[in-house]
Amino acid sequence: MNKKVVLITGTNSGFGWLTANAVATLGHKVYAAMRDTDGKNADKAKALAQVENITVLNVTLTDDASVKDAIDTIIAAEGTIDVLVNNAGVTMFGVAESSTPADVQRVFDVNFIAPWRLMKLALPFMRKQSEGLIINVSSGWGRFAAPFSAVYGASKFALEGLSEGLHYELRPLGVDVAIIQPGAFPTEMSQKVQLGSDTSVLDGYKVIAEFPDKMFSAIGQMFETAKPDPQDVADAVVNLINLPKGQRPLRTVVDPSTGEFIKTANDAVRVEYAKVLTAFGMKDLLA
């Protein structure tokens, strides 16, 4: 196995934490990005830095200079980046109208613009070596948006749209772009739900006010029944890294509870999408 240089974001908890450990265990060199390593994430950073093959980077993903400094640090030490895993994300829950433009901007800054900021900086090195892998962690709600998660879903729709176009643009250059679509998992992210700031509109939604609680109750029951393991997402990342170049699927669903719904949609779209690319003279990009 060739050792790869792997940059993973959002490694202070959840999928990112598990993925960093899983990839490092394979012998790859992992750069684990998280913010506030001298503050609230200090203990997490210290613990992760003690793992063999892991170097922790203090990165604010919404800041151009901070991200560039991180990339420069990796290039200075390793000469390149082989794998980029855009895992960091934030949630937004509640009726869509309660989200202000600032709320929407905050979600898109982390879930969409930050991944592109990293991809834009990593791609020149991947193209130069005709080898690279970008894994963008989306969501099942990146395919279908759920009530009360419309803003979050929209940010993941955007990430999926960018990833899908890049998948075909970059594959002829030796760079793979893949999407992972997790379902609901009991991670710290699921416990840090952001709400819309405009509470003045909530009185107008009293007729459906009970549904958010019903949703959380149903998700809790799914956790008890299906017992989804966040390690499955880390394992999906490892599987994509291990697959040969050019053979990595565009989308990988990791959802033991409701994933068949997403898989069915992915399969149907893939067939019709190929017809569209062919009709537009781009059949060769499917090979």
Q: Which two tokens stand for residue 256?
A: 């033991």
Number of C-alpha atoms within 13 angstroms, CB side, residue 236? 26
With beta carbons less than 8 A apart as the criterion, state whether 224 and 109 touch. Answer: no
Burial of 225-249, coded b for 16+ CB within 10 Å and e otherwise, reads: ebebebebbbebbbebbeeeeeebe
Set 152, 168, 205, 273: catalytic member: 152
Cα dihedral: 117, 122, 123, 125 (round 10): 160
3-state secondary structure 162-227: HHHHHHHHHHHHCEEEEEEEECCCCCCHHHCCCECCCHHHHHHHHHHCCHHHHHHHHHHHHHHHHC
Residue among 63, 262, 7, 17 at smallest CA distance from 156: 262
Radius of gyration of the chain (CA): 19
Give catalytic status of residue 31 as yes or no.
no
Measured distance between the N- and C-terminal CA atoms of the chain, rounded to whole angstroms: 26
CA atoms of 153 and 157, how far apart (whole Å): 6
Active site residues: 152
